[in-house]
């Protein structure tokens, strides 16, 4: 197939095109919200928030990337790394890794939350903490919806759709734009740049470091496996664990703050064990992808 002028776009050109499409969908999203408000719709209810999150994930994260990839690549599925899966060992390693990493993530989060700024930046710190609190309140409102039916919706919207859309956006598209596609080595700069932007866009600064580290882990999982579905499954696992823990806490009257502190304070030892187990898990994930690629080359007769 003869390449068009769009397929030869530079990384900067692709980034501009992608942002332009996102801007167009963003305007439609705001117009829709304005119409709902003018019609007397209450957008603060849990059901309304589910619809807003769904529209945001599809309209701002998934569709712009799909459209842009089809415009600038003759093989969009391959460019996005959604054309193949992974070995059973890779799937298992990815899921177990996210489970054992939870207390370690809580420990790193506690260090991040203890961050304080100089007195001269007190206004900035107050704004950062206000944004953090607003984000937490929205998440807690969604996850605190009682009942098994609401749990299923939260698993679909908060756990699965959010993970698919964010990985599609930040690892599939953004990391792809920042990577040199002719270089088969691990694109470290692209991974970390996408991870930093991924964390910053949440505007929750007291969870910035653990979210950035998870973003980098997802990025390396993509680079090692060559499949976007691996970081998607890892992200889904993390989100599903949090969603299920909130549901169990609500059903049984547990203190969710104690669950968030697992791996800190009285269970600090568990946090350190988790960090050690996470390092081992990362090694096993890397090894599983290496073995899978070697097996594929052998089967192909190379």
Residue 4 lies in a domain: yes
| pTM for the model | 0.89
Answer yes or no: is pLDDT of 231 > 70. yes
Do residues 93 and 194 share a domain?
yes
Of 35, 55, 77, which residue constitutes the final position of a domain? 77
Do residues 230 and 183 share a domain?
yes
Domain coverage including residue 148? 80-294
In whole angstroms, what is the distance from residue 98 CA to residue 84 CA?
A: 21
Do residues 204 and 95 share a domain?
yes
Residue 141 lies in a domain: yes
Of 77, 107, 136, which residue constitutes the final position of a domain? 77
In whole angstroms, what is the distance from residue 233 CA to residue 163 CA?
A: 8
Do residues 19 and 143 share a domain?
no
Do residues 257 and 135 share a domain?
yes
Do residues 68 and 189 share a domain?
no
- Under a CB-based contact definition with an 8 Å cutoff, are residues 61 and 166 in contact? yes
Write down the mean pLDDT value for the chain: 85
Percentage of the chain lying above the pLDDT 70 cut? 91
Do residues 64 and 93 share a domain?
no
- 93-113 average pLDDT score: 93
User: Which pLDDT score, from 0 to 100, does residue 186 have?
Assistant: 57
User: Which pLDDT score, from 0 to 100, does residue 5 have?
Assistant: 61
Q: How many domains does the chain have?
A: 2
Answer yes or no: is pLDDT of 53 > 50. yes
Do residues 52 and 175 share a domain?
no
- Under a CB-based contact definition with an 8 Å cutoff, are residues 124 and 295 in contact? no
Do residues 1 and 58 share a domain?
yes
The residues, ordered by sequence, that sit 6+ positions from 18 with a Cβ below 8 Å of its Cβ are 64, 65, 68, 173, 177
Residue 302 lies in a domain: no
The label of the residue with tokens 């580290």 reads 213
Residue 8 lies in a domain: yes
Do residues 87 and 131 share a domain?
yes
Q: Give the pLDDT band (50/70/90) at residue 223.
A: very high
Residue 300 lies in a domain: no
Q: Give the pLDDT band (50/70/90) at residue 3.
A: very low
Residue 301 lies in a domain: no
In whole angstroms, what is the distance from residue 301 CA to residue 142 CA?
A: 51
Of 16, 51, 77, which residue constitutes the final position of a domain? 77
Do residues 145 and 59 share a domain?
no
User: Which pLDDT score, from 0 to 100, does residue 246 have?
Assistant: 86
Residue 27 lies in a domain: yes
Residue 148 lies in a domain: yes
Do residues 279 and 157 share a domain?
yes
């Amino acid at each position: 197939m003869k390449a068009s002028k769009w397929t030869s776009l530079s990384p900067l050109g692709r980034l501009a095109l992608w942002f332009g499409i996102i801007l167009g969908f963003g305007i439609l999203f705001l117009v829709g919200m304005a119409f709902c408000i003018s019609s007397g719709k209450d957008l603060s209810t849990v059901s309304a928030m589910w619809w807003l999150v769904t529209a945001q994930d599809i309209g701002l994260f998934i569709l712009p990337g799909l459209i842009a990839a089809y415009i600038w690549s003759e093989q969009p599925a391959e460019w996005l790394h959604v054309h193949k899966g992974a070995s059973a060992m890779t799937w298992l390693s990815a899921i177990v890794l996210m489970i054992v990493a939870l207390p370690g993530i809580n420990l790193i989060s506690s260090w991040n939350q203890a961050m304080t700024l100089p007195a001269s930046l007190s206004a900035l710190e107050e704004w950062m903490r206000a944004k953090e609190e607003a984000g937490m309140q929205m998440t807690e409102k969604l996850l605190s919806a009682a009942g098994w039916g609401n749990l299923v919706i939260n698993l679909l919207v908060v756990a699965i759709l959010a993970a698919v859309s964010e990985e599609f956006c930040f690892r599939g598209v953004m990391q792809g734009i920042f990577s040199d596609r002719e270089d088969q080595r691990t694109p470290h700069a692209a991974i970390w740049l996408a991870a930093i932007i991924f964390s910053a866009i949440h505007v929750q600064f007291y969870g910035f470091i653990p979210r950035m580290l998870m973003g980098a882990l997802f990025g390396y999982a993509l680079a090692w496996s060559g499949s976007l579905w691996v970081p998607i499954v890892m992200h889904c696992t993390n989100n599903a664990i949090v969603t299920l823990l909130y549901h169990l806490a609500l059903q049984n009257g547990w203190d969710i703050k104690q669950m968030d502190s697992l791996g800190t304070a009285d269970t600090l030892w568990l946090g350190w064990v988790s960090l050690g187990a996470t390092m081992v898990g990362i090694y096993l994930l890397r090894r599983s992808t290496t073995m899978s690629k070697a097996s594929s080359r052998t089967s192909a007769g190379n």
